[in-house]
Structure 1
Amino acid sequence: MTRFSAPPHPLLGRRALLRAMVAGAGIAAVPGLAACGSEGGAAATDTVSFGNNASDQVPKDAITAALKAFEGESGLKVAINTKQHEQYQEQINNYLQGKPDDVLAWFAGYRMRFFAEKGLTGDLSEVWSKVSGGYEPALKEASTATDGKQYLIPFTQYPWGVFYRKSVWQQRGYEVPKTLDELVSLSTRMKSDGLVPIAFAQKQGWPGMGTFDQLNFRINGYRFHVDLMAGKEHWQSPKVREVFDTWKRLLPLHQENALGREWQEAAQALQQGKAGMYLLGSFIAQQFKGEEEDLDFFPYPEINPEHGQDTVEAPIDGYMMARKPANPEGAKKLLEYLSAPAAQLLYTKADSGVIATSNKADTSGYNSLQKKAAQVIKEAAHITQFLDRDTDPRFASDAATNGLNAFIQNPDDLDSILKGMADQAKTIFTG
């Protein structure tokens, strides 16, 4: 019997971590994610309800600032309904089938298409006919479902990379590693210097997915990675095993007891100079307020020369519309506003861990971290969204989350872990 036959450990599984709801801060805050929308019902035409997953203080303040500006420009009111980030994702399916808010936060790519194709979100093609000139074709593609219609307005984007403090590296004479062997050598040196080489956290269930992604597309390439996410490759294949074998080699260089630590705590280890590196998205800047200029990153080092560093993980966050919004005209007006560079730059000024998606945004006000983020994304040959955005959410929330956590807890149990993931993938993708 594999570990997949039993309920996961309380520390395992992102979707088991249900937290108390966080009331929306700022404009007309409304408690309870499912309480705001009124599908097909009467509603005040001067109010737009807004479902928000930005529960951490920095992004919450940033979106509040953008929405306050919209209120001032439009004369409409915005009722913000904020919920803890992981809980929002856990309950999104029921939320969309109930009484969702008029406009709601979500992600581009597979996860957007999944709900669009189920008829649970509103067609935004009319809005896109007005705003498409502000987006590159790849962003429109990431917002388009299989029916050729658009269902998401991209708002911000951020790359994943290996982050470090410039001052710590300058003091110790560390240099950016170009290959996996150089990364291991640097990590070994950091360990001898009394640092945790690689900060790591997995209590929330998703950060380890980023490590898997980096290793998989560095070893096996972009095409294999996206095909694996789509259920077209096998989780028990030698290529997937090589990913985990490589990760097993790196695990001793990671911060211990990751299953009991949230990403913010791991970021603090980097911020305090106790850890030398941290693989994460550039939203890590939230933990470096006032110190962003001391934060830098590099794309994950090359492992297989055939693929080099050609792929970058750069998730796109944006906003969808309810299938039957209570205030459809107000919802479309808000979404059109969110596509504009002014709105996105208001946000990126307050949250320096992300960049605007509009190609008309004036980036001269970006800090050095944002400028580098924009450059890394622009130079990438391939862009991925993130494991739990690039695959079926049923696979991400169960097989992937529990499988990766099981591996981190006991990497020697790889055979049963991969069998469990493969069995669940077969059920989900071919059942």
Structure 2
Amino acid sequence: MAHSFTDPIVSRRRLLRGAVAGAGAVTLPSLLAACSSGPKRSGDSANSAVTLGSNASDPVPRKAYTDVIAGYHTSSGRTVDVRTTDHNTFQENINRYLQSRPDDVFMWFAGYRMQFFAAKGLLDDINDLWQGFTGFSQALKDQSTGQDGKQYFVPFYYYPWAVFYRKSVFQQHGYQIPKTLDEYTALAKQMQKDGLVPIALGDKDGWPAMGTFDYLNMRANGYDFHKSLMAGQEAWTDPKVKHVFDLWRGLMPYHDKGANGRTWQEAAQTLAQKKSGMAVFGLPHPGQQFAEADRGDLDFFAFPEIDPQWGQDSVEAPIDGFLLPRRGGDKDGARQLLKYLATPAAEQAYIAGDPNNIAVNSAADTSKYGALQQKAVQLVSSAKHVSQFLDRDTRPDFASTVMIPAIQQFINNPKDVDGLVNDIERQKKSIFATEG
């Protein structure tokens, strides 16, 4: 069974500022050590391995990528040195990484965040490789294309965001799937009475709570408003934005306390341990924290409706993949690896080891997908709009330096919405005013 991905490209205004965002692929234990030693340079031994910078630091994806690279070695005889570091360290050091001596290939994200670094001249285009790629829709090609019309990205998988829960917990208490925000709130209230943390949340890393903001915004104001807000074209002081924070404030009593001191992994573990009832996550996040024997108990539902005008027509479904850094050493070896990573065989090898994602190549065999994967494909394919997540749909500098601390501030003190949005808008004007 094959499927297609229909994510529309979101056009963006040109970026001219630097930022701290994204993924730096370096070897543990030291970022500095990797930056100083770096991968091999042109002229090094032809037999030395191509280096691949990886942010897949959790056990499940890390093992799945090991299987992918083993398949590449078997088919090509070539070796790859996978350099893995903690996911968030990976994200926070991207500028320094790309401007020093990066690996030959590194993991990254589609759309706006890829375009930002392409526009800064830190990536090599792979137009020649795309001419030979098959199985990628035009929408995927659009999400892999820079602002100059050239392709820079090899898409590998996507994953939708939704509200996750354990089926056995819902069955035990007789809970029903909420369709509207009122029903969601009533369910959370009942879970609290039943001794559960209604909604698990861990925002120590800064980005997990963005998924909740995006869904509240798209459900209350529609996808087009989300798109223009992320592009800097709407005021954060707009009553529509204040309404989003007001809605979220109404849900805050049902979230786990101390979220800013908890990682997303720790939040997902409370779901696995049946201490919490629900959590807003991307498909891979809770699955990676569940024991294999319990994964069949994991399920999700679409984030509830707020305004019937928009219903549940928008889904967050970020796309992950691979890029070629401008300063990488082994260009030929890197391109050979990228060719393999664009094949259905590579995607299938990964998905077999990490059934928490969805292959993007239309020729990938999805017949062995589990129930959760099949449901994820249906959720995305039936969506009218597909977003890429807040920190991928806006400028990296705005997401990292403004929105991460702003949302964490809101979690700590959800009462001062006016002060919060005024501060966001002031900083937004400064950052977006630098665009040409």
2:340 aligned counterpart, secondary structure: helix
Alignment match, 2:342:
339
Shift of 1:428: 0.8
Alignment match, 1:206:
207
Q: Are the aligned partners of 1:49 and 1:80 in contact in 2 as well (CA < 8 Å)?
A: yes
Report matched runs for 1:90-169 at 5 Å.
Answer: 90-131=92-133, 133-169=134-170
Alignment match, 1:401:
404
Question: Percent of counterpart pairs with the same letter?
Answer: 49
Alignment match, 1:390:
393
Shift of 1:21: 6.2
2:82 aligned counterpart, secondary structure: strand
Alignment match, 2:7:
none
The aligned length equals: 408
Alignment match, 1:372:
375
Q: Counterparts of 2:377 and 2:235 in 1: how far apart (Å)?
A: 34
One-letter code of the match for 2:357? V
Q: Counterparts of 2:376 and 2:39 in 1: how far apart (Å)?
A: 35
Shift of 1:219: 0.7
Q: Counterparts of 1:191 and 1:21 in 2: how far apart (Å)?
A: 43
Shift of 1:58: 1.2
RMSD: 1.9
Q: Among 16, 21, 28, which residue is 1:22 paired with?
A: 28
Report matched runs for 1:213-228 at 5 Å.
Answer: 213-228=214-229
1:130 aligned counterpart, secondary structure: coil
Shift of 1:409: 0.4
Report matched runs for 1:403-422 at 5 Å.
Answer: 403-422=406-425
Could you list the per-position Cα deviations for residues 247-299 of structure 1 after superposition, in whole angstroms to 9, with x for gaps in the alignment? 00000011111111111111111111111101101112001131211110011
2:311 aligned counterpart, secondary structure: coil
Q: Are the aligned partners of 1:34 and 1:100 in contact in 2 as well (CA < 8 Å)?
A: no
Could you list the per-position Cα deviations for residues 159-215 of structure 1 after superposition, in whole angstroms to 9, with x for gaps in the alignment? 000000011111211111110001011111111111111111111111111111110
Unpaired runs of at least 5, structure 2: 1-19
Taking a change above 3 Å as real, the CA distance of residues 43 and 373 of structure 1, as seen in their structure-2 partners, is farther
Alignment match, 1:5:
none
One-letter code of the match for 2:356? G
Comparing both structures, which one devotes a greater share of its residues to helix? 1
Q: Are the aligned partners of 2:99 and 2:327 in contact in 1 as well (CA < 8 Å)?
A: no
Alignment match, 2:16:
none
Matched, 1:327 2:330: yes
Q: Counterparts of 1:323 and 1:289 in 2: how far apart (Å)?
A: 40
What TM-score comes out, normalization by structure 1 length? 0.91
Could you list the per-position Cα deviations for residues 297-330 of structure 1 after superposition, in whole angstroms to 9, with x for gaps in the alignment? 0110000111111110001000000214322121
Q: Counterparts of 1:292 and 1:150 in 2: how far apart (Å)?
A: 37
Alignment match, 1:247:
248
One-letter code of the match for 2:340? Y
Q: Counterparts of 1:396 and 1:169 in 2: how far apart (Å)?
A: 35
Unpaired runs of at least 5, structure 1: 1-13, 25-29
Q: Counterparts of 2:297 and 2:191 in 1: how far apart (Å)?
A: 19
Taking a change above 3 Å as real, the CA distance of residues 236 and 254 of structure 1, as seen in their structure-2 partners, is same
